[in-house]
């Protein structure tokens, strides 16, 4: 489905003329319906990898190697073909949903305008379809949400709207860049579950960028560990967790927050357990 081969990204500073290589010849492949987690510390090149696939790398950047989507090389594809592929086959879900939405338009307009067939649909039908997309991401009061402006909705609600918008184009590949980092933990879990459900339902491939190794392991079939613009290793979550090949992966594993650090006994919780089969009031005698 997606084959990235020897991807090199070089950025040149327009003022000094100095070039810096940001991605150093990375290769990876992604099958249809497969999800790959890109994990690594800040600045390791995760977002830049997605930007190269989307063709939105910074100005002054040069990308070499190849990025083939179902056999079409996105780096050599021409304007119209590339525009069509990006519009139809790729969808980005970014960290901050506000960045994907127009602040001066109700979200209903965003959804309707994002539909690839919106121009041929009568307005009422387009709106019905937008409401249906919202219901598919767990939003029930669709009329209120369609009428709302982005600032009137919570971050979790907005990210659902963005996911609904992403699904409207029926993409083949979902690129999610820290899609839940800006959300509180409970909403995070809900949004991850929706994303995962949509992906499985539609058989989409996905690249999921995150700092959170445990989250990546839960959501992805394979993980690619990045450091300083280089993919150090790729493996299943079990391989990465149980048999890390590099010291960096080991360090990344031990740096993740844990409720109970490995090896430490789980703290005992206070309280009395009623004796099984005994007097049901045995623990309440003090109150008698
Ligand atoms: N617009 C830009 N121009 C030049 N270099 C950039 C630009 N944006 C980022 N970089 C550099 O590219 C490298 C990779 O950045 P990238 O944003 O891909 O990291 P990341 O892994 O996504 O980090 P984070 O987890 O913080 O989002 C960094 O060294 C960064 O300084
Ligand atoms: Mg990033």
Asked if residue 44 has its Cβ within 6 Å of ligand 1, the reply is: yes
How does residue 282 score in pLDDT terms, banded at 50, 70 and 90? very low
Domain range for residue 173? 34-43+78-255
Asked if residue 58 has its Cβ within 6 Å of ligand 1, the reply is: yes
CA dist., res. 123 & res. 108, Å (int):
11
Residue 4 lies in a domain: no
Residue 226 lies in a domain: yes
The predicted-structure confidence for 6-36, as pLDDT tens digits, reads as follows 999 999 998 999 999 999 999 999 999 999 9
Mutate to test the pocket of ligand 1, among 48, 182, 255 (most ligand atoms within 8 A of CB): 48
Buried residues in 160-193 as b, exposed as e (16+ CB within 10 A): bbbbbbbbbbebbbbbbbbbbebbeeebbebbbe
Residues with CB under 5 A from ligand 2 (ion): 47
Residue 281 lies in a domain: no
Asked if residue 60 has its Cβ within 6 Å of ligand 1, the reply is: no
The predicted-structure confidence for 172-230, as pLDDT tens digits, reads as follows 999 999 999 888 888 888 889 999 998 999 999 999 999 888 899 999 999 999 999 99
Residue 128 lies in a domain: yes
Q: What is the DSSP letter of 181?
A: T
CA angle 203, 75, 28 (to 5 degrees): 50
Asked whether 137 and 85 are in contact (CB, 8 A), the reply is no
- The structure tokens 């810096």 sit at 20
Domain count for the chain, please give it. 1
Strands 205-210 and 35-39: parallel
Asked whether 219 and 208 are in contact (CB, 8 A), the reply is yes
Closest atom of ligand 1 to CA, residue 41: 25
Q: What is the CATH number of the domain that holds 90?
A: 3.40.50.300
pTM of the model: 0.86
Residue 56 lies in a domain: no
Residue 171 zone, left/alpha/beta (φ > 0; ψ -120 to 50; rest): beta
Distance of CA 45 from the midpoint of ligand 1 (Å):
6
CB count, 10 Å around CB of 200? 12
């Amino acid at each position: 489905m997606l084959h990235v081969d020897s991807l090199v990204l070089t950025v040149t500073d327009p003022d000094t003329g100095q070039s810096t290589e940001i991605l150093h010849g990375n290769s990876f492949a992604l099958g249809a319906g497969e999800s790959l987690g890109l994990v690594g510390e800040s600045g390791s090149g995760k977002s830049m990898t997605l930007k190269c696939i989307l063709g939105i790398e910074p100005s002054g950047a040069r990308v070499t190697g190849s990025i083939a989507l179902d056999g079409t090389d996105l780096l050599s594809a021409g304007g119209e073909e590339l525009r069509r592929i990006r519009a139809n086959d790729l969808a980005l879900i970014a960290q901050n949903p506000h960045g994907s939405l127009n602040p001066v338009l109700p979200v209903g307009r965003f959804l309707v305008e994002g539909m690839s067939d919106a121009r041929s649909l009568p307005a009422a039908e387009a709106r019905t379809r937008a409401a249906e997309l919202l219901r598919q991401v767990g939003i029930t009061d669709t009329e209120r949400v369609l009428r709302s402006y982005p600032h009137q909705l919570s971050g979790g609600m907005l990210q659902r709207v963005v996911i609904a918008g992403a699904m409207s184009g029926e993409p083949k590949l979902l690129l999610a860049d820290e899609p839940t980092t800006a959300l509180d933990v409970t909403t995070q879990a809900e949004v991850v579950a929706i994303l995962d459900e949509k992906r499985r339902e539609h058989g989409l491939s996905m690249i999921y960028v995150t700092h959170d190794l445990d989250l990546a392991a839960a959501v992805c079939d394979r993980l690619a560990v990045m450091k300083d613009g280089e993919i150090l290793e790729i493996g299943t979550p079990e391989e990465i967790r149980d048999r890390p090949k590099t010291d960096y992966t080991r360090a990344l594993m031990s740096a993740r927050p844990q409720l109970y650090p490995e090896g430490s006994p789980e703290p005992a919780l206070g309280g009395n357990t009623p004796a099984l089969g005994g007097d049901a009031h045995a623990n309440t005698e003090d109150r008698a």
